[in-house]
Amino acid sequence: MKIRDGFVTNSSSTNFLIISKKELTEDYLAKKLGLKKDSLIHESAMNLVHTIMNNAHRGEKYYEIDKIDKEFVEKNFGKESAQKFEELSKKGYFSYVGYTSSDDDYLTSFFTMDFFELKDKDFYIDGKNCIW
């Protein structure tokens, strides 16, 4: 029998789709997530934003796809998100895919441990593909 005497973790991840009228930047994403510069957790919040940005800009490579298309979105995020993707893509919106991991700092871990959806008139995040 083997006994482990260190910190043991089971990692989880949340895959996300972002559809945005504006090209994604850290400042724009922070604003859309409602993050405040004077918040006590601002540093961790910006780490979360940085993680999302890094993964969003490498999403196609991570998923081994050439581009995000309706078929990919439907398979990974469902029909509702695929319809939204198709509708907003025709209007010139930007689309990004990526993931967060519970192995990151505390706020990113918290963000990763549940599924979520954020709908705004010019911004949409589908984070319902959660593997926990």
Would you kindly state where each structural domain of the chain is located, as residue ranges? 24-131
- pLDDT at 121 (0 to 100): 87
- pLDDT at 102 (0 to 100): 75
Model pLDDT for residues 82-127, shown as the tens digit of each residue: 999 999 999 999 999 988 877 777 777 777 776 778 888 899 988 8
- pLDDT at 58 (0 to 100): 85
Q: Under 8 Å CB-to-CB from 113, ≥6 apart: which residues?
A: 12, 14, 102, 130, 132
Tokens of 37: 């510069």
Model pLDDT for residues 48-77, shown as the tens digit of each residue: 899 889 888 888 888 899 999 999 999 999
Q: How far apart are CA 119 and CA 32, in angstroms?
A: 10
Average pLDDT rounded to a whole number, residues 10-30: 88
